[in-house]
Amino acid sequence: MELLDTFQRPLRDLRISVTDRCNFRCTYCMPKEVFGPGYQFLQRDEILTYEEISRLARIFVAHGVEKIRITGGEPLVRRDLPLLIEQLAQTPGLKDLTLTTNGSLLRQQAGALRVAGLTRITVSLDSLDDAVFQQMNDVGVPVAQVLDGIDAAKEAGLAPIKVNAVIERGVNDHTMVDLARFFKGSGVILRFIEFMDVGNTNGWRMDRVVTLREMAGIIGRELPIEPAEPNYRGEVARRWRYLDGSGEIGFISSISQPFCGDCTRARISPEGELFTCLFAARGHDFRTLIRGGKSDAEIAEFLGQVWRVRDDRYSELRTEATAGIERVEMSRIGG
């Protein structure tokens, strides 16, 4: 059954955050000053079990979802993640199952994830310069560890592999071309993300954003590129291709070229709240329904009520002033 919101947008993509914990403290996402030793993370019994997640996934897929992305926090810090992948891979009607990770634990887990039914993966890597990368992840993880994780994903047969790099002016913008050069022609699809005003803790300012236009200029001057057609309506990354035919590169431009009009995404937090926008302050509580003995039909009914009145289009309304409005942290609901 297809659900449409107030702007006639269907529900197609579901991002499920399996933990609010992460082994990185990226300055733009989970700054140490906020997410330090005293920070109160969710307790074990507060987060959805794998059975609860799989049940929700089945209900969502029956109502239009075609693609599920597992995220976090860092999904690979949650114990026995392949067990969840195995359950989700069996969801009737699901067309695409993927996962976003910082890659630091991928060497140990890539094989098991592939066997469990994962077919492709996205790895976040913001720079190839060790000093810059370690300043950004703020826990001293070297670039080599993530590159080794990417190799492990390749060896396990996960494909395509995508790499996401958040670009923040004055922090890592001077290392963009090196990243592009490194992955050009390798089959790995690199995407640059505009620094976003997600959450309330990352000190976002418009002047730290390097826009798609600027980023495409920086890359294009060294490695000529041209815009390419989207693969499908609602695709998050704008695709560009190298003129020499050596592959493609993408830009995720939520700030300078918002794509709310095509947004078919919903996000479930680790404790089972559904967010209909990355920039929403509040979610809709599905855990109480699941743990309160509601039937699949009753849960689907609630999903329909939430989606039909959805009118979010935050990125189209964003101004410097809206950056201060309360909203959920990216580290809780993932990208």
What is the binding site for ligand SAM (CB under 6 A)? 22, 28-29, 71-72, 74, 100-102, 124, 164, 166, 193, 195-196, 198, 202, 330-331, 334-335
Give 101 or 175: the residue with its C-beta nearer to ligand SAM: 101
Give 58 or 162: the residue with its C-beta nearer to ligand SAM: 162
State in angstroms the smallest separation of the CB of 335 from ligand SAM: 3
Give 276 or 331: the residue with its C-beta nearer to ligand SAM: 331
Instruction: State whether residue 226 is helix, strand or coil.
Output: strand
Give 72 or 272: the residue with its C-beta nearer to ligand SAM: 72
Peptide bond into 160 cis (omega under 30): yes
- Are the beta carbons of 138 and 155 closer than 8 angstroms? no
State in angstroms the smallest separation of the CB of 168 from ligand SAM: 8
State in angstroms the smallest separation of the CB of 134 from ligand SAM: 15
Give 163 or 216: the residue with its C-beta nearer to ligand SAM: 163
State in angstroms the smallest separation of the CB of 300 from ligand SAM: 28
Nearest to 78 by CA among 57, 56, 99: 99
State in angstroms the smallest separation of the CB of 46 from ligand SAM: 19
Q: How far apart are CA 83 and CA 93, in angstroms?
A: 19
User: What's the start-to-end Cα distance of the chain, in Å?
Assistant: 26
If DSSP states are collapsed to H, E and C, what string results for 115-182? HHCCCCEEEECCCCCHHHHHHHHCCCCCHHHHHHHHHHHHHHCCCCEEEEEEEECCCCHHHHHHHHHH
Give 31 or 234: the residue with its C-beta nearer to ligand SAM: 31
Residue type, 326: E
State in angstroms the smallest separation of the CB of 174 from ligand SAM: 18
Residue with nearest beta carbon to ligand SAM: 335
The token pair that represents 35 in the structure block: 């997410």
